[in-house]
Amino acid sequence: MRKADIGIIILVVIIGIAGWSYTLTQTFQSGGTAHIYVDGDLYTSVNLDENQTVEVITEAGSNTLEVKDGYIDMISATCRDQLCVHMKHINKQGESIVCLPFRVHVEIEADQEVEVDAISN
């Protein structure tokens, strides 16, 4: 490899990292509202700016969500596998927490509308 080849590789890597960083900051806006769904129906919506605890009670069992410092987290559930409890806390648009046994789905909606540059098929 020549010096020019190494320079081109470094340039491509730098451009790739810059593009990836820009995409992350523009696509996933944080904050806003967490929508909690049970069986696909809206159970409740909570503002991520207000610290609170939300209890979701279904026929199958219960889940406890905690809103703290702009994040929402599933802190307990009465399901056997506890996978939803081990998921990380979320605060960005597009992130979600799912409890499959109780069919509970938490999804973030940002306050700001995200503009799309292009759509590809």
Residue 116 lies in a domain: no
pLDDT at 30 over 60: no
Average pLDDT, the chain: 85
74 CB burial (10 A radius; 0-12, 13-18, 19+): buried
If pLDDT is split at 50, 70 and 90, which confidence band does 32 have?
confident
The H helix count followed by the E strand count for the chain is: 2, 7
pLDDT at 18 over 90: no
- List of residues 6+ apart from 56 with CB closer than 8 A: 36, 38, 43, 44, 62, 63, 64, 65, 102, 104
DSSP-based three-state secondary structure for 94: coil
54 φ/ψ angles, rounded to the nearest 5 degrees: -120, 130
Q: Structure pTM?
A: 0.68
64 φ/ψ angles, rounded to the nearest 5 degrees: -120, 125
**pLDDT tens for each residue of 68-90:** 999 999 999 999 999 999 999 99
Q: How many domains does the chain have?
A: 2
**pLDDT tens for each residue of 52-71:** 999 999 888 999 999 999 99
Do 51 and 98 belong together in one domain?
A: yes
Residue 121 lies in a domain: no
Do 83 and 47 belong together in one domain?
A: yes
